[in-house]
Structure 1
């Protein structure tokens, strides 16, 4: 007896243009993710006094990055909820419009303070748009095609991370510093036009009452936690009051959030989702991999540019292998999942990431540059086999009508994991470096000693000001930095191995049907939310 195929759950008009819709969403994804990496290249120019730059101090530069991160991370979860309630297309369009306007204002900023404020506004736009991209994918693709679409989505993230420094390097070489923000504007305009025409509206048909207390607690908790983590990383001292007090406030607010959500009849976040082993393990793997990977991005830039002497543009080009591997393998990760299951695929990907970190443990100042290319290919291939399957597992564990909240949880864990990685591994890098340089710095004049011990860049700057006498600092500085890099890379290996174990033992094996995401079996009978009026 043959069983009739289940009817498609996506309206035909939307189904026909689903790949064009994905293309418009990737534009949003590219411009948001690219902007995070493109700014790093422009830092030195922005620090230059006017008219070349803004004369920004080190603190100004840190806040130009951190203001975006704080707002982005703090509003991600709330933005996902708003998209589910009021419409994901509305959230996407509003986010892109805010991001575009803030990019234009950032390009025209006349002081470091203005730049910090406009970067925070860019964080608002990014937070509104980012969860909506993944939620819309879940609502315009059938279950069988979602792994492929999410694989392309994940590959685009890797591409944006890699081309950011290249784009920034080219713009800085030929234009003024504001061009790294102005380049966003035409992309945003094209994306907005495409989204208005192509993207359908979708939302939760039964959102229930608003939960202002839960939303407020989530914002306070995430912002305070991320701020404390960032501050601890900056100071390389998490015992300082400026670090542990906001961290404690954040933890207490998040604990209160969970307590309140378990008792309110209309929670902003259904905390029972975390009882689902697949959901919890998947978000844990996301946090773990970004904790480790943000560490390598932190020390990798200094190794390539300061130790090896490559330009910012050349450093960006050396990141292309990582992006190319993600772009090549991420859309095909679903085929590996169909054959071996989510657990084996994600654990194997985490193992490749760990292997890449092993490469950084043994690399030296004179290692052939092709070693970095191989490391990038290995880590990119690993990343490509982790993010698509765990993202599908997260989203497939939830009802479609909660896609925005699910996407927001996924992105929040990624952001918190990445911020922890930069702060914790950056603090370890700074501490080990200073310890390694302590004997050498004792021979410096008192006015140079403290400043030269802050970082490799600070040591090289002091060496430059000292003239020929400063050349004696360069060798020990490079040696100390490489030793610190080895320590941090070793810690990243350990964190990645933890991710291997979580993925192997807690994620599901092969799914009953090819292409069906983990946890999807129990969701296939859920009612489909209302389709777009403009379908």
Structure 2
């Protein structure tokens, strides 16, 4: 009989041939991870270009831009549970290869989109592929590194996320300066081909000897519930009215479906999401920290691009360079965060990271049209520093909470909460931004023809687009548009800071401090018992 202590212990020893090439395997996994993260960070600097009318862009509205991002993240999040189980059942390498192929096909199709609707659909295909890539990379990592090296490997893996965030905006800026907007998606294709070749050569396959069954009902309920919830939130922002009957009905329906999902998972003998994992407060707090920090961060980076390009007048390439400190800090500190945890413990390290994120989000409320740009660079760097000291310790807590053969499920859970948090952050904070902007600009649009007022009030890009079409008569709209956007950004930044503070309270309350080795073993047995 297997005891709880056995299940969370070292597990079977990794074959020597695999152990010898573990660092090369990590490099291939990071390349696979690179394209998934790179795509979103490239898109961040391209949203303004895509929002401009054809032939430069697609003329996408702010709500369509939010859906272009969230179509990817919602499909990604909705399928992560099942993709983790499929990897455990069929083999992580096979699932990883299949996910890369789907992601590459979706990228090629997205590059040729002829309308915002097509872009949203092809982004969903990319999300389908990414759902099978992201959890498999971390699951393979857990199966090629021994437990004592896992924190270091996860730190390097998290640093790879920082590298992707760093080169994504810069790559996107270079491409947009020299090619059409679709090039930001087409760039994924050669990276996918290289990753496929290296993976076939280097990466071993692994699977769970006792995998769970797929839960199609749970998958459908989770995706439908999330889509309804996010659609309602985005629609409320678009209408600047969250009391609208359709908005309330859609949000309510989404919440009802998500409750049904949780009830179904609790009763199912093969759930997509084993709610028993969340009986452990440490595990739950780590998940909450990941979701809340990505809620705040994704919402803020969405409006930061419009601040730098629409208000400050920087090009996409310059915007990518301005975001470099955010990624550089993650690249520098993520692999070293484990040393801070060793000295101060998970609680102090993660709480400090959340408080730093909250402070930097609040600092966005001090930015104006003429603020010295070096202040923005400092804010980005400190945000990246906070992220590094949140992601590494929480990822280690989550991945080591479950036995190695369940690595796919643990990775899927971690990435699901990250993606759902990010999608809701874009939806909620994007809606706050949209509502505040519309309320701030509508009083300045009285001189416009009635047919243009609604269009001009959708976003700062819509206002500036109408102003450009009107020529000299539209010049009077530019300053009010900037002022309305800055006010909306300040309001949104405070919302994001409030969410980060909630995260700080959660981790300060529930994450462990510096735990003696004997107590740590007792905690692991407690978690194992909770999963029974």
How do 1:427-506 residues align onto structure 2 when only pairs under 5 Å count?
Answer: 427-506=431-510
**Would the aligned equivalents of 1:278 and 1:518 in 2 still touch at CA under 8 Å?**
no
1:62, CA displacement in angstroms? 5.2
Corresponding position of 1:149: 153
**Would the aligned equivalents of 2:11 and 2:404 in 1 still touch at CA under 8 Å?**
no
Per-residue deviation, residues 507-532 of structure 1 (Å, max 9, x unmatched): 01113349x8996576899xxxxxxx
Q: In 2 relative to 1, CA 328–461 (structure 1 residues): closer, same or farther, beyond 3 Å?
A: same
CA RMSD of aligned residues (A): 2.8
Corresponding position of 1:268: 272
TM superposition score normalised by structure 1: 0.89
Secondary structure of the corresponding residue to residue 511 of structure 1: coil
Tell me the number of residue pairs that the alignment of Structure 1 and Structure 2 aligns.
520
Q: 1:174 aligns with which of 167, 170, 178?
A: 178
Partners of 1:100 and 1:165 in 2: CA distance? 19
TM superposition score normalised by structure 2: 0.90
**Would the aligned equivalents of 1:429 and 1:485 in 2 still touch at CA under 8 Å?**
yes
Partners of 1:448 and 1:438 in 2: CA distance? 11
Partners of 1:142 and 1:105 in 2: CA distance? 40
Partners of 1:91 and 1:173 in 2: CA distance? 36
1:58, CA displacement in angstroms? 6.7
Partners of 1:252 and 1:7 in 2: CA distance? 40
Q: 2:403 aligns with which of 381, 393, 399?
A: 399
**Would the aligned equivalents of 1:333 and 1:384 in 2 still touch at CA under 8 Å?**
yes
1:240, CA displacement in angstroms? 4.0
**Would the aligned equivalents of 1:236 and 1:426 in 2 still touch at CA under 8 Å?**
no
Q: 2:339 aligns with which of 335, 340, 344?
A: 335
**Would the aligned equivalents of 2:347 and 2:507 in 1 still touch at CA under 8 Å?**
yes
**Would the aligned equivalents of 2:61 and 2:458 in 1 still touch at CA under 8 Å?**
no
Partners of 2:210 and 2:218 in 1: CA distance? 18
Q: In 2 relative to 1, CA 7–59 (structure 1 residues): closer, same or farther, beyond 3 Å?
A: closer
Partners of 1:385 and 1:283 in 2: CA distance? 15
Partners of 2:53 and 2:430 in 1: CA distance? 27
1:250 pairs with 2:254: yes
1:314 pairs with 2:318: yes
Corresponding position of 1:530: none
**Would the aligned equivalents of 1:234 and 1:423 in 2 still touch at CA under 8 Å?**
no
Partners of 1:68 and 1:229 in 2: CA distance? 17
1:419, CA displacement in angstroms? 1.5
Corresponding position of 1:422: 426
Unmatched runs of 5 consecutive residues or more in structure 2: 1-8
My pick for the range that moved more, 104-113 or 340-349, is 104-113
How do 1:44-63 residues align onto structure 2 when only pairs under 5 Å count?
Answer: 63=67
Secondary structure of the corresponding residue to residue 202 of structure 1: coil
Partners of 2:112 and 2:478 in 1: CA distance? 38
1:250, CA displacement in angstroms? 3.3
Q: 2:139 aligns with which of 115, 135, 141?
A: 135
Partners of 1:440 and 1:223 in 2: CA distance? 34
Corresponding position of 2:221: 217
Corresponding position of 2:364: 360
Partners of 2:408 and 2:241 in 1: CA distance? 36
Q: In 2 relative to 1, CA 319–518 (structure 1 residues): closer, same or farther, beyond 3 Å?
A: farther
Q: In 2 relative to 1, CA 473–169 (structure 1 residues): closer, same or farther, beyond 3 Å?
A: same
Corresponding position of 1:528: none
1:29 pairs with 2:33: yes
**Would the aligned equivalents of 2:237 and 2:434 in 1 still touch at CA under 8 Å?**
no
Per-residue deviation, residues 116-154 of structure 1 (Å, max 9, x unmatched): 433222111111111111111122112222122112222
Q: 1:305 aligns with which of 292, 301, 309?
A: 309
**Would the aligned equivalents of 2:293 and 2:500 in 1 still touch at CA under 8 Å?**
yes
Partners of 1:517 and 1:437 in 2: CA distance? 58
1:239, CA displacement in angstroms? 3.9
Corresponding position of 2:96: 92
Q: In 2 relative to 1, CA 60–478 (structure 1 residues): closer, same or farther, beyond 3 Å?
A: closer
Secondary structure of the corresponding residue to residue 13 of structure 2: coil
Q: In 2 relative to 1, CA 357–521 (structure 1 residues): closer, same or farther, beyond 3 Å?
A: same
Partners of 1:106 and 1:452 in 2: CA distance? 27
1:292, CA displacement in angstroms? 0.9
1:110, CA displacement in angstroms? 5.3
Q: 2:108 aligns with which of 100, 104, 115?
A: 104
Determine which structure has the larger helix proportion and give its number. Answer: 2
My pick for the range that moved more, 345-354 or 481-490, is 481-490
1:54, CA displacement in angstroms? 5.9
Partners of 2:362 and 2:45 in 1: CA distance? 27
**Would the aligned equivalents of 2:45 and 2:305 in 1 still touch at CA under 8 Å?**
no
1:249, CA displacement in angstroms? 3.4
Q: 1:68 aligns with which of 53, 69, 72?
A: 72
Corresponding position of 1:509: 513
1:191, CA displacement in angstroms? 0.7
Q: 1:408 aligns with which of 401, 406, 412?
A: 412
**Would the aligned equivalents of 2:176 and 2:316 in 1 still touch at CA under 8 Å?**
no
Unmatched runs of 5 consecutive residues or more in structure 1: 526-535
Per-residue deviation, residues 177-202 of structure 1 (Å, max 9, x unmatched): 33222211111111111111221212
Secondary structure of the corresponding residue to residue 167 of structure 1: helix
Q: In 2 relative to 1, CA 223–492 (structure 1 residues): closer, same or farther, beyond 3 Å?
A: closer
My pick for the range that moved more, 105-114 or 340-349, is 105-114
Q: In 2 relative to 1, CA 50–439 (structure 1 residues): closer, same or farther, beyond 3 Å?
A: closer
1:79, CA displacement in angstroms? 1.1
Partners of 1:241 and 1:230 in 2: CA distance? 14
Secondary structure of the corresponding residue to residue 341 of structure 1: helix
Q: In 2 relative to 1, CA 150–425 (structure 1 residues): closer, same or farther, beyond 3 Å?
A: same
How do 1:285-296 residues align onto structure 2 when only pairs under 5 Å count?
Answer: 285-296=289-300
